[in-house]
């Protein structure tokens, strides 16, 4: 009788130990950042478009890890701040912010993320065991922002709206960023003192405009302080919106991000040539507008067949469908079929928030 009770208790203890061990193991993989591996990775902070939907996707945003460290933020759409928090990533040393264009679903969470960067520095700077401390140096290097200029022939508001005849729809990225952070005129100029007040470092930024000319392939190589890192920006067509696509290369691997674009012209296939990973604007589910009210979207975004053409022509290794809208949500099977019909034979993946794509070294067959 005693032996049977002992065996029963032992079985319970073994089961309990197993459950606790599995939970402990799960905790080690709790955060998306724990899945980052290799020299070049991208974490999806936002895979959605400009519409809040029940699918719960945040708007466009991608965090690039170089050597395992988060160094580059590509776009910062609404909801990216929350996804960043859930990812478990410390961005105190974030260096570069790339803005594809100035639509809200690509830059709405820029300032919350910038502010978080200084709070993460505060955590690193302060020893809570000390009762008295002086302001530490903290972060002294500025973060650097690149985005499209206003364009050589910017679109003006129509007179019927009542705007001045010289008022353009989209400012240059430099004007946009200065309007936030300039010490004297920025709407969020308080960050210049706030970063010091919280012991997060000395607030500083640099911003540069890149020509958004999509009719000529003139990629601009952006200067970085990271040895071996190459970032290229080129103009792409997004209707009247000055827009950029980006290519990031490091240690033989490459990521291309289309931003939002109709993909008219040759800039997307040329920029994407041989890329290991191509993240593409997938806002449209058909090749032709289903009705007149959709014409505007087809002037701004890429059709599924055109995505396939670009991916096939460029010979990319993996294609990631992102910027998912209500038109494309849940229609991935037919989207993939339309892309395949254009001759693309690589991998096709559907982005989701907090997904991590690691570009690991190619193993030799003998390994």
| pLDDT at res. 21 | 41
CA distance 60 to 324: 9
The average pLDDT across 235-259 equals 97
Q: What is the pLDDT of residues 162-198, one digit of tens each?
A: 988 888 999 999 999 999 999 999 999 999 999 999 9
pLDDT, residue 155, reads 83
* Mean per-residue pLDDT of the chain: 90
Which one, of 258, 262, 267, 265, lies nearest residue 238 by Cα?
A: 262
- Could you report the per-residue pLDDT of 271-281, keeping only the tens digit for each? 999 999 999 99
Per DSSP, 346 falls in state S
Residue-wise pLDDT for 200-229, tens only, equals 999 999 999 999 999 999 999 999 999 999
C-alpha–C-alpha distance, residues 241 and 169, integer Å: 8
Q: Which helix (H) or strand (E) holds 70?
A: strand 69-76
| 144: pLDDT strictly greater than 50 | yes
Q: CA angle 184-204-50, nearest 5°?
A: 85
What percent of the chain lies above the pLDDT cut of 70?
A: 88
CB-side neighbour CA atoms (13 Å) of 18: 6
Query: Which residue from 298, 296, 319, 299 is spatially nearest to 307, judged by alpha carbons?
Result: 319
| End-to-end Cα distance, the chain | 56
pLDDT mean over 44-69: 97
Cross-strand bridge partners of residue 256: 247, 278
Q: How many CA atoms lie within 13 A of 14 on its CB side?
A: 6
Q: How far apart are CA 56 and CA 31, in angstroms?
A: 18
Instruction: Taking the CA atoms of 120, 126, 127 and 129 in sequence, report the sign of the dihedral they define.
Output: negative
Q: Are 229 and 249 in contact (CB under 8 A)?
A: yes
What's the pLDDT score for residue 158?
A: 85
Q: What is the pLDDT of residues 11-26, one digit of tens each?
A: 443 344 444 444 443 4
Q: Tens digits of per-residue pLDDT, 281-298?
A: 999 999 999 999 999 999
Rounded to whole angstroms, the Cα distance separating 280 from 311 reads 9
Question: Six-digit token pair at 299?
Answer: 């002037």
């Amino acid at each position: 009788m005693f032996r049977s009770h002992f065996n029963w208790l032992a079985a319970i203890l073994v089961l309990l130990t197993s459950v606790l061990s599995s939970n402990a193991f799960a905790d080690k993989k709790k955060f998306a950042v724990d899945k980052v591996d290799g020299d070049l990775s991208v974490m999806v902070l936002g895979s959605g478009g400009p519409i809040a939907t029940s699918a719960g996707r945040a708007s466009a945003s991608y965090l690039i890890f170089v050597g395992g460290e988060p160094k580059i933020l590509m776009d910062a759409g609404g909801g990216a701040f929350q996804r960043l928090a859930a990812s478990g990533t410390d961005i105190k040393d974030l260096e570069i912010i790339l803005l594809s264009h100035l639509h809200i679903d690509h830059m709405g969470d820029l300032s919350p993320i910038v502010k978080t960067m200084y709070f993460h520095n505060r955590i690193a700077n302060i020893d809570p065991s000390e009762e008295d401390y002086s302001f530490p140096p903290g972060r002294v290097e500025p973060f650097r922002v690149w985005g499209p200029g206003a364009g050589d022939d910017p679109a003006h508001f129509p007179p019927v709206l009542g705007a001045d005849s010289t008022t353009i729809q989209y400012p240059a990225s430099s004007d946009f960023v200065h309007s936030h952070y300039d010490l004297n005129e920025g709407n969020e100029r308080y960050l210049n003192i706030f970063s010091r007040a919280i012991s997060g470092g000395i607030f500083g930024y640099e911003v540069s405009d890149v020509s958004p000319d999509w009719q000529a392939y003139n990629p601009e190589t952006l200067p970085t302080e990271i040895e071996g890192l190459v970032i290229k920006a080129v103009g792409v067509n997004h209707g009247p919106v000055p827009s950029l696509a980006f290519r990031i290369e490091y240690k033989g691997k490459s990521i291309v991000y289309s931003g939002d674009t109709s993909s008219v012209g040759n800039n997307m296939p040329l920029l994407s040539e041989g890329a290991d990973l191509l993240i593409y604007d997938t806002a449209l589910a058909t090749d032709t507008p289903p009705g007149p009210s959709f014409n505007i979207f087809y002037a701004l975004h890429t059709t599924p067949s055109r995505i396939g053409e670009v991916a096939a022509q460029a010979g990319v290794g993996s294609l990631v469908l992102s910027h998912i809208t209500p038109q494309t949500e849940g229609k991935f099977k037919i989207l993939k079929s339309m892309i395949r019909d254009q001759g693309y034979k690589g991998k096709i993946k559907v982005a989701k928030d907090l997904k991590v794509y690691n570009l690991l070294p190619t193993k030799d067959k003998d390994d």
